[in-house]
Amino acid sequence: MMEIRIGEVTHYFTHLSVAAIQLTGEIKIGDLVCIRGHTTEFAQRVKSLEMEHHPVQSASGGMEVALKVLQPVRAGDAVTVVSGSEAELDIMEDPTFVTDDS
């Protein structure tokens, strides 16, 4: 499994379940991301990304995006992208993998 750090959570909007993420790498719709911190650890697919209240398909380092998340996150949590087909299977079998059906 290969994980690449792509950013850090800067703010969590509780009422919207949205994380503001300052990017250091690229993120796009469909990516499998892991969010980890002192009390946070889960993986999910990217289904919704926004920049300045406008939907986007992708974003890269230096940008700040809003990501709809399926669990609460905290400022300072690390965001990584998981790549590789075997890695995706491992993650989906992991109990911390979250889907909107969960």
Q: Provide the CATH number for the domain around residue 77.
A: 2.40.30.10
pLDDT at 102: 45
Q: Rounded to whole angstroms, how far apart are CA atoms 91 and 35?
A: 12
Mean pLDDT for each consecutive 10-residue tract of the chain (102 residues)? 92 97 97 95 94 96 96 98 65 57 48
> For position 61, what pLDDT does the model report?
94
Structural domain containing residue 20:
2-93
Residue 83 has what pLDDT? Answer: 81
Q: Is 51 inside a domain boundary? A: yes
CA-to-CA distance for 2 and 59, rounded, in angstroms?
20
- Sign of the Cα torsion 92, 95, 98, 102 reads positive
Q: Which pLDDT does position 52 carry in this prediction?
A: 94
8-state DSSP, 56: -
- Count structural domains, the chain: 1
Examine residue 69 and state whether it is found in any structural domain, yes or no.
yes
- pLDDT at position 25, please? 97
Reported pTM: 0.83
Residue-level pLDDT at 2: 85
Identify whether the C-beta of residue 98 lies closer than 8 Å to the C-beta of residue 43.
yes
- The answer as to whether 12 is a domain residue is yes
Is the residue at 52 inside a domain?
yes
